Chain A
Amino acid sequence: MTKLDWIVLALTLTCIICYGLYKSKHSKDLDGYFLGNRTMPWWLVVLSIMGTQASAITFLSAPGQAYTDGMRFVQYYFGLPIAMVVISIVFVPIFRKLKVYTAYEYLEQRFDMKTRTLTAFLFLLSRGLSTGISIYAPSIIISSLLGWNIYLTNLVMGGLLIIYTVSGGAKAVAYTQQLQFLIIMAGMFIAGYMVVHLLPPGVGFKEALQTSGNLGKMNIITSGVTDKGFNWNDRYNMWSGVIGGFFLALSYFGTDQSQVGRYLTAKSNRESRLGLLANGLIKVPMQFGILLVGVLVFAFYQFRNQPVFFNQTLVTQAKETSYKIPLEELEQKFRDKMENQQVYQVNIVKAKTVPGAENMIAVYKDSLKAGAIQMESLRKEYKAVLKQAVPAGESNDTNYIFLYFVTQNLPKGLVGLLIAVIILAAWGSIAAALNSLASCTVVDIHKNIFKKDCSSEKSYRLSWQYTLGWGLFSIFVAMFATNMGSLIEAVNILGSLFYGVILGVFLVAFMWKKIKGNAIFWAAVVSQFLIIGFHLLQNSKIYHGIKFEFLWYNPAGVILVFFFSFLFTLIFRNKTQPVALSVK
């Protein structure tokens, strides 16, 4: 980064944080935002919903995801618009009619205290863990720019975040989140434009897509069907996206307090619904656009020299050891291979303009694919040497790809601005998450367990203590995030372990009036253990059965909760015979 970038970075961070803190200290409407005084118009609701979901991980990790795995990740969002329609029809009227403050409050009204506490606990656990992963995202940026050790960076970032949140950061976010979201989208658009602009002469947008497509990166729609039938272990395909993605989105937007809190602040049912539906319309094209930037970056590196490994801090560290020579030898082999690949890519672009050159193009494509396999094996070899040189280093560089591209290729000043906004997005979403974790702990857990009505001063002190506690927990989790691979996948896998069960509890509450507190509580406990147990089992060496990818955990959780709540209703009825139950 140049001096100008550092100045832009520091100025942007200072100005936006000071503006947010100033506004949050001088506005009478402030509490209304968090207490849900229901005044927001639909267009602010949609920006809030999108800003809450799109943290730094989205912008840092999604382009890298497309770079390594292609466009197929977009299918994961196919269930989201359907979920928005269902939430608008079913969830919104119920939550608003009952005027609940947290989504879990409804469960106490419908079932009992223990079900509310259990569901709130599951939310806290999953959100606490994913907040830890979120802290790791801005740490990657800082450690890459300053060459700091990632663990030290986690500690510094986490510490600063706790101070920021406690001193009003979460409130400040309320005033800056929408603006930040718009700036970051503009930043991504500029980044996409710049990639195309930096491509060699004769290679435009269409040719860039073709270049990526030649190596299978334009795999937007995949069926998941192989010669042996449907592959349940295929991570992203049309069906896991529509079905698994639907249940995941239904749970995230319908039961996760960080989202429910957003659309309940709308001024009417109509505004909440319009906000959700607009989110359903915008989300798929937006994610498509972000992933497309990753594919364009991939095309860019087909014509320019790409590093073997994008985490340059780790490479520098490794080269300070005795492994410097083997690493440089592998780099040379990789460069040679890449030069061949570049020739094939240029030849394909040229051959496309020649009529009747299909056979020649097919030959070039085969050579290209064979070359890509060889490059991949060189990359694996390089990673193995890196691992030997720095055993604690992360062997996955997906999260570093976009950052590397931005810092190396974008114009001076723009780099600083983009990084500032990504860091702000991270800080905003983490501060808001720590705040919602603390308030949910106080409202749904602490006050219920200790059965005390706290004074506002005591509540404030409690919130402060819980924010600190969750902050420390998140830093602890961040320390283990180093080998999780693509962060956008890691948070979704983590969420899927809990979301199906939480959603199952809510759906039973809405749809199955005969199910009571005891049955649903034990159904949720058993289902949760089964989902986590199965996840651990299928990732162990002793499991040889059919494997299921994480998106399928979401419908599985719902089905398990329905099944066990029915079963336990029968068992408890036979034991206690409180009332004659008939199950539909």
Chain B
Amino acid sequence: MNNSKLKWGILYVTVLVVLVAEVFFFLWLTNIFK
């Protein structure tokens, strides 16, 4: 695979992974401060 495409792919996946992590963090906060 082209090196540049791989870098962009990693960046896109990072954005999505951060979103998922945020959702889990928020879920944790929701449960803590119920």
| Contact, CB under 8 Å: B15 / A281 | yes
Tell me if A212 is interfacial: C-beta within 8 Å of chain B.
yes
Expressed in whole angstroms, the minimum distance between the Cβ of B29 and any Cβ of chain A is 6
A interface residues, tally (CB under 8 Å): 24
| Contact, CB under 8 Å: A221 / B16 | no
B interface residues, tally (CB under 8 Å): 16
Q: Is the interface of B mostly helix, strand, loop or mixed?
A: helix
User: Which listed residue, B15, B29, B32, touches A85 by the CB 8 Å rule?
Assistant: B15
User: Which listed residue, A81, A210, A219, touches B16 by the CB 8 Å rule?
Assistant: A81
Q: Mark B1-34, 1 if CB is under 8 A from A, else 0.
A: 0000000100110011011001100110110111
A277 to B12, CA, bound (A): 8
Q: Mark A44-88, 1 if CB is under 8 A from B, else 0.
A: 000000000000000000000000000000100010011011001
Residues of A within 8 A of B16 (CB): 81-82, 85
Tell me if A147 is interfacial: C-beta within 8 Å of chain B.
no
Residues of A within 8 A of B8 (CB): 273
Knowing A85-B12, A89-B12, A221-B26 are in contact, say whether A78-B34 is a contact too (CB < 8 A).
no
Tell me if A220 is interfacial: C-beta within 8 Å of chain B.
yes
Residues of A within 8 A of B30 (CB): 218-221
Tell me if A285 is interfacial: C-beta within 8 Å of chain B.
yes
Expressed in whole angstroms, the minimum distance between the Cβ of B14 and any Cβ of chain A is 8
A488 to B19, CA, bound (A): 23
Q: Is the interface of A mostly helix, strand, loop or mixed?
A: helix
Tell me if A284 is interfacial: C-beta within 8 Å of chain B.
yes
A284 to B20, CA, bound (A): 11
| Contact, CB under 8 Å: A220 / B26 | yes
Tell me if A330 is interfacial: C-beta within 8 Å of chain B.
no
User: Which listed residue, B15, B32, B34, touches A84 by the CB 8 Å rule?
Assistant: B15
A84 to B16, CA, bound (A): 10
Residues of A within 8 A of B18 (CB): 81, 281
| Contact, CB under 8 Å: B33 / A284 | no
Residues of B within 8 A of A81 (CB): 15-16, 18-19
| Contact, CB under 8 Å: A82 / B19 | yes
Tell me if A280 is interfacial: C-beta within 8 Å of chain B.
yes
Residues of A within 8 A of B15 (CB): 81, 84-85, 277, 280-281
Residues of B within 8 A of A218 (CB): 29-30, 33-34
A273 to B29, CA, bound (A): 32
Interface positions, chain A 272-307, Cβ under 8 Å from B, are: 273, 277, 280-281, 284-285, 288
Residues of A within 8 A of B33 (CB): 209-210, 212-213, 218
| Contact, CB under 8 Å: B34 / A221 | no
A114 to B8, CA, bound (A): 37
Q: Mark A205-220, 1 if CB is under 8 A from B, else 0.
A: 0000110110000111
A88 to B33, CA, bound (A): 37
Closest to B12 in A: A85
A31 to B30, CA, bound (A): 48
Expressed in whole angstroms, the minimum distance between the Cβ of B9 and any Cβ of chain A is 10
| Contact, CB under 8 Å: A221 / B27 | yes
- Taking A74-B26, A85-B12 as known contacts, 16 extra A-B pairs with beta carbons closer than 8 A to each other, sorted by chain A number, are A81-B16, A85-B16, A209-B29, A210-B33, A218-B29, A218-B30, A218-B34, A219-B30, A220-B26, A220-B30, A238-B23, A277-B15, A280-B19, A281-B15, A285-B22, A288-B26
Question: When A and B form their complex, which 4 residue pairs have the shortest distance between CB atoms, in order from nearest?
Answer: A213-B33, A218-B33, A220-B26, A81-B19
Closest to A210 in B: B33
Residues of A within 8 A of B29 (CB): 209, 218, 220
Closest to A80 in B: B19
A210 to B30, CA, bound (A): 10
| Contact, CB under 8 Å: B12 / A284 | no
Expressed in whole angstroms, the minimum distance between the Cβ of A93 and any Cβ of chain B is 11
| Contact, CB under 8 Å: A284 / B11 | no
Expressed in whole angstroms, the minimum distance between the Cβ of A278 and any Cβ of chain B is 9
A220 to B23, CA, bound (A): 9
Closest to A218 in B: B33
User: Which listed residue, B22, B27, B32, B34, touches A284 by the CB 8 Å rule?
Assistant: B22
A221 to B34, CA, bound (A): 11
Interchain residue pairs with CB less than 8 A apart (10): A78-B23, A81-B16, A82-B19, A84-B15, A218-B29, A220-B30, A221-B26, A221-B30, A277-B11, A281-B15
A219 to B32, CA, bound (A): 11
A213 to B26, CA, bound (A): 13
Residues of A within 8 A of B26 (CB): 74, 220-221, 288
Closest to A74 in B: B26
